[in-house]
Structure 1
Amino acid sequence: MGEGMQTGGDGMSETTSDDWAAGLEGPTKKPLTRTTKILLWLFGLLVAWLTLSNASWLAPDPAGKRTLIAHRGVSQLFDHAGVTDTTCTAARIHPPEHPYIENSLRSLRAAVGRDAGMIQFDVAATKDGQLALFHDWTLDCRTDGKGPIRDRTMAELKTLDIGYGYTADGGKTFPLRGTGVGLMPSLDEVLADLGHLPMVINFKSRDPREAELALAAFARAGVDANQPRFAFFGNARVLGPIRAKAPKAWTMDRAGAERCTSDYIKFGWSGWFPVSCAGGTIVVPLDRQWAFWGWPDRLQARAAEHGARLLLVGPSGDNHSGVGLSRVGQLTRIPASFTGYVWIDDIYNLGPALRPRQK
């Protein structure tokens, strides 16, 4: 009886041991079907094709060098948090590092001296049919004038102090007041002085008449607006006359640029270049470079092939900064091989800081 119990015990032990070993092996693996193998093989080919067709390191070396666009020339920086269309930004500037006032001839010349490849400025029509360099719709924020700028003649605007309203301490002091009397220039003056340089003219209005005024100013100055070195930004409606009469110039409207940029992010993986981007502008935020297929060199090659331009701007998630780059540390995030356009809010500091990297 003892032996039977021992034998039975041994049998149970062997069975338990076998079950435990089988449990370690897991369920029996089924062989892959022929269809599954084909699908995996095709998936691998697709991944390899996507990787190689969008590989920046396989693209040709881009020609030329990057171009810095000085936003409003050398300007005073300000905190953009909570800014709306009606915010008086002159009343929230950072403590000034320099004496320059945006959209003035002095400011534009200073930007060129600090390595700006293009100077950007805003224009508004005057009562007597000229274009003045000014950002706001009304004069109240920045100057000692009142009311809409379009209700004043150029001669009247010349009497104003364009540095009157700038303050960095809530209105206790006005460090630029008195330094900007008579410094609001007309487009005619800018073209006479700096018409040999690349420039970006930004229309604040949607009225096509202002584009006609710009073309007339170019004609008076003897400067051909129909050149790639000139850019005109604004609403699609206001840009109509420019696109019709100066088709070689760079034109960009916000809606068109957003559509092109979105289409490329959606479809660029395929190697197909969106129709909306032909001759258009792809806007690349500094913090979203990873989202653009083939960045930077493959994308640059595709853009060049289709007459498109690449515009690198500041990070999209920074509520305290403007559209452009405003910190020296951001420069390290620009690819060394990038030869497109870079929107700069602080050309005063960033222009000289880039010099060692561009040698």
Structure 2
Amino acid sequence: MKKNKTIRYIILFIVLLVVFIWANNTSLFLRNNEVNPKLLAHRGLAQTFDLDNVEWDTNTAEIIHKPEHEYLENTIESMKAAFSHDADIVELDIKLTKDNKLAVFHDYLLEYRTDGKGEIADFTMKELKKLDVGYGYTADGGKTYPFRGKGIGMMPSIDEVFKAFPDKELLIHVKANDEEIGKVLWNYLKVMNKERLSQITIYGDDIPIEYLKNQNKDIRAMSKKSLKQALISYELLGWTGYIPESLKNTYVGLPVKYAKFLWGWPNKFGDRMESVNTKVVIVEGNGKWSEGFDNKDSLKNIPKNYSGYIWTNRIDKISPIIKDHK
């Protein structure tokens, strides 16, 4: 009799626990009104390519699709185009130059995309300004180069980006795992007022991100290592509604197919992150090659009423669809 009573109490406890976890993490009762996701334009408005043919060392400029627009990634003009298509935030890549400037460029080698040879670190910013960033693009295996001669002087410095977009939100990808690039970037960030700094988000390798967070814990920055640790902590305790310190004032970028395993996904999780000044961005695919929501069919994978950011390489195609949905 006593044993049966104990078993009933255990069962009741388990049932109540399950109900609590469900009620505390369901998005069922949130956001009954339809909302649209925010738009993150990857490298501005860029030329796209077939991701199925990409490896870590692939020269993507050699495998672009037939151009449908005139813009080149990581240029001021491509960023202006993205914002003109209602991007809420633009992502860009930075590398450290020979004279300790920050050039906006993605590739490991200059010859992938430009008429230069070597690395960004081998040249001063003034020397990099002489290069043609459209030199290496081809959609037909090298028969024609539609942007050759059209990208001379178009590799911007971070100074130019901040000057061109003084009140726009930016996501900065730090493309080096050393403290020096973190120090140089910090020289720009430390003179920003609180409002401007709140518009800047940074991600990249562990060392520079750790340096930046040590200078100012409120900087919204995240590395792959810190993201992994933060999400593990959240998976262990998030069912209670607890938000680890490591998920505050930061950036969470992850594939949509994995995001569904987060406690409270999508809307309760989004509300929790918004309450602690953290941006949530979802990408398509497995997240390995910056696959974006680039066509109408891909938008079907976005959860209903998701109000975070979606990553896109074709802001020109996606923005009109999102706007028509309003």
Q: TM-score, normalised by structure 1?
A: 0.80
User: Offset of 1:255 from its aligned partner?
Assistant: 1.1
Aligned to 1:78: 49
Query: In structure 1, the residue corresponding to 2:28 is in which secondary structure?
Result: helix
The alignment's C-alpha RMSD in Å is 2.7
Aligned to 1:174: 145
Aligned to 2:241: 271
Aligned to 1:193: 164
80-89 or 203-212, larger mean C-alpha shift: 80-89
Cα deviation code 1:179-223 (max 9, x no counterpart): 11111111111111112211111110122222332343467xx75
Q: Verify: 1:105 aligned to 2:98, yes or no.
A: no
Which of the pair has more CA radius of gyration?
A: 1
Query: In structure 2, the residue corresponding to 1:81 is in which secondary structure?
Result: helix
2 CA distance for matches of 1:291 and 1:53?
Answer: 15
Change (3 A) 1:149 1:283: closer
| Equivalent in 290, 297, 304 of residue 322 of structure 1 | 290
1 CA distance for matches of 2:250 and 2:103?
Answer: 27
Q: Verify: 1:130 aligned to 2:98, yes or no.
A: no
User: Offset of 1:104 from its aligned partner?
Assistant: 0.4
Change (3 A) 1:263 1:92: farther
Change (3 A) 1:159 1:340: same
Counterpart residue type for residue 208 of structure 2: V
Q: Verify: 1:337 aligned to 2:322, yes or no.
A: no
2 CA distance for matches of 1:275 and 1:215?
Answer: 22
Change (3 A) 1:82 1:260: farther
> What percent of counterpart residues are identical?
33
User: Offset of 1:336 from its aligned partner?
Assistant: 4.5
Cα deviation code 1:57-103 (max 9, x no counterpart): 335789x9743221111111112235333221111112211111000
Q: Verify: 1:211 aligned to 2:179, yes or no.
A: no
Aligned to 1:235: 205
User: Offset of 1:239 from its aligned partner?
Assistant: 2.3
| Equivalent in 156, 159, 163 of residue 134 of structure 2 | 163
| Equivalent in 91, 100, 117 of residue 62 of structure 2 | 91
Counterpart residue type for residue 250 of structure 1: R
| Equivalent in 278, 282, 292 of residue 308 of structure 1 | 278
Q: TM-score, normalised by structure 2?
A: 0.88
Task: For structure 1, list consecutive stretches of 5 or more residues without a partner in the other structure.
Answer: 1-31
Change (3 A) 1:270 1:82: farther
Change (3 A) 1:81 1:60: closer
2:267 and 2:307 in contact (8 A); partners too: no
Change (3 A) 1:135 1:233: same
2 CA distance for matches of 1:73 and 1:238?
Answer: 23
2 CA distance for matches of 1:305 and 1:217?
Answer: 27
Query: In structure 2, the residue corresponding to 1:95 is in which secondary structure?
Result: coil
Cα deviation code 1:281-335 (max 9, x no counterpart): 343422234312222222123223444332222232x87x634322322223333
